[in-house]
Chains A and B, each alone.
Chain A
Amino acid sequence: MRTLGRIFLVAVMLLALPAGAVLAQSTDGTVTVLHGIPGDGGFPVDIYVNGDYTAPFIPGLTFTEFAGPVTLPAADYSIEIYAAGADPTATDPALGPLPVTLPAGANATIEAHLDEAGAATASVFVNDISEIAAGETRLTVRHTASAPTVDVLANDGVLFSALSNPNQASGDVPAATYNAKVVPTGATEPVVFEADLALPEGTSTIVYAIGSLADGNFTVAVQTITGLGAAPAGVPTGTAGLATDGFPIALAIAGALAMVGLAGSGVALSRRSSN
């Protein structure tokens, strides 16, 4: 198993999102944790929060697994990751402590992963939970693998180019099933990864490239956030005007004739009776 020492971590400040409306309570944030570090037996880890060692906040998480989403009060947190079963009071964490600030309304994913060179690190990504236009889907790709800069192809066209660890690319596209390929940037082969991705309307699909290309354990983990869809802008269903609310023309003519007849005959009759 890869030896993981305490590593240097930069405090990651999440930017407050303008589109926090998805959360009912504005004083909370939403967090998901992804285990993206390969190792023997899936490298199971226990995750502790804020130095509370009575029990793991997340026990036994393994490579490619997500924990969450969990709703937490907006606050500063300290996250420590230990090999599963290790005594947190007697050993150093495999990773951390990782300081994370969770702003109100934010939706974030905390990921333990490899850097480009293959060392363990961690990143915090803010998930875009803004509304997705009707008929569309959101695809985000996060390069968190020990692998060079890549392009992401959708149906053999370049969708995201020059994506490098630890960066992400995102776009809203028509909802459909796409053939997705990951290739070295600027090239069409070798194909590092290929899959048919069913991307549902109104859903955000986040694909994490994880593992190590050189070690042969490169793979992807997929997170989805549903319920971001919007209604169409309207329903256009008529262009001829045959079904209007207006007074029907035949009735209007009959009514007009009757009024003329009524007036004419009435006037004539009244004149005669007054004579």
Chain B
Amino acid sequence: MSRNTLKTIFVISVVTLIAVTASYLIGTEPATVGDVGAIVDSLSEPSLPTTSALDPQPIVETPPDAEAGGPSVPVSPGLLPDLPAGDPVIPVGLKLGSLGVDAPVVPTGVNQRTGQMAVPNNVRDVAWYQFGSVPGERGSAVMAAHVDLASEGPGVFFNLRTVDEGDVVEVEFSNGTVRVFRVEARTAYQKDELPLDTIFAREGSPVLTLITCGGGFSESSGSYDSNIVVYAVPIPDRDLGSAG
């Protein structure tokens, strides 16, 4: 083998190694983008004003003065709770332009066997946790979908791990209106460290929380070890009225 041939192989090998390293670094998304802590804090806001030593919570210790006007103890009629009036307005569609996602949304609850959030057993639908918040209302509205299924291949949230800060998310509702959200943060949690009380918070600032699986994969259990979580906040100015 000529010296020139060896030199050529040497150069090609070096270039290839550099290319492989570079493509790995470029192709691997950082585990976290955006300010996760700020979102978590906004979901931890108490629903009632906090009390301090300077602002003690009013505790009724003595009967109210009759001249003070009105009872201090609230009185309510013990009526039967209202039945849901008509069909509630629920999310029916989700668009993530940066990923090319335009998926139907279905309301789900809890898998009674596992106690986990129920997610449709297909790669097409996005699940909305109907016992939590409505997207755009107070608290965390949770939408989850499969990253993949062994039976069907990649899922609608396959590329959720590449979502970036500033990406736009649109949620379409059953009454034709659309609410627009901006991605504030994306991160990954080990499944046993998933902050469930934050992700499923029913109080606090409005947050749209998108969830799928990621991280390492166990062939033996057929499951991932992490959840990819994307937090988005409403951009009310960009909401759309009825699509007519």
Contact = CB atoms under 8 A, between A and B. Distances in A.
A joins B in a complex = yes
B65 A232 contact: no
Contacts of B77: 64-66
Interface in B88-121: 109-110, 112, 114-117, 119
Contacts of B53: none
Given A232-B117, A251-B23, A261-B10, 9 more contacts: A61-B75, A70-B60, A71-B60, A134-B131, A231-B196, A234-B227, A235-B199, A238-B213, A261-B9
Counting from the closest, the 7 A-B pairs by CB-CB distance are A221-B78, A135-B110, A238-B213, A241-B217, A261-B13, A231-B200, A262-B13
B78 A223 contact: yes
Nearest to B219: A241
Interface residues of A, number: 79
Contact of B131 (A61, A70, A175, A237): A175
Contacts of A202: 131, 202
A244 B215 contact: yes
A66 B131 contact: no
A243 interface: yes
A37 B116 CA distance: 45
B16 interface: yes
Contacts of A197: 80-81
Nearest to B121: A239
Contacts of B145: 237
Given A231-B200, A242-B158, A237 B150 contact: no
B133 to A, nearest CB: 12
B71 to A, nearest CB: 6
Contacts of B158: 242-243
17 contacts: A54-B65, A73-B61, A134-B110, A134-B200, A195-B80, A223-B78, A235-B194, A235-B227, A239-B151, A241-B148, A241-B222, A246-B216, A254-B16, A261-B10, A266-B10, A269-B6, A269-B7
B149 to A, nearest CB: 5
B83 A247 contact: no
Interface string B17-41: 1011101100110000000000000
Nearest to B212: A237
Contacts of A200: 81
B3 A269 contact: yes
A41 B131 CA distance: 41
A265 B10 contact: yes
A48 interface: yes
A93 interface: no
Interface string A243-261: 1111110010011011111
Given A65-B78, A224-B81, A258 B216 contact: no
Contact of A259 (B17, B76, B154): B17
Give the one of B24, B63, B83, B217 with max A CB within 10 A.
B63
A59 to B, nearest CB: 6
B233 to A, nearest CB: 20
A1 B12 CA distance: 104
Interface in B177-210: 191, 194, 196-197, 199-200, 202
Contacts of B117: 232, 234-236
Contacts of B223: 236, 238-239
Nearest to A36: B78
Given A134-B131, A258-B13, A238 B115 contact: no
A259 B12 CA distance: 10
Interface string A170-211: 000011010000000000000000011111111001001000
A58 interface: yes
A265 B9 contact: yes
Interface in B49-85: 57, 59-66, 71-84
A67 interface: yes
A135 B112 contact: yes
Nearest to B8: A265
A240 interface: yes
A238 B13 contact: no
Contacts of B213: 235-238, 243
A239 B148 contact: yes
Contacts of A72: 59-61
Contacts of A195: 80
Contacts of A229: 131, 202
Nearest to A59: B71
A232 B129 CA distance: 10
Contacts of B59: 28, 71-73
A126 B22 CA distance: 65
Contact of B9 (A199, A247, A264): A264
B144 interface: yes
Contact of B73 (A57, A257, A266): A57
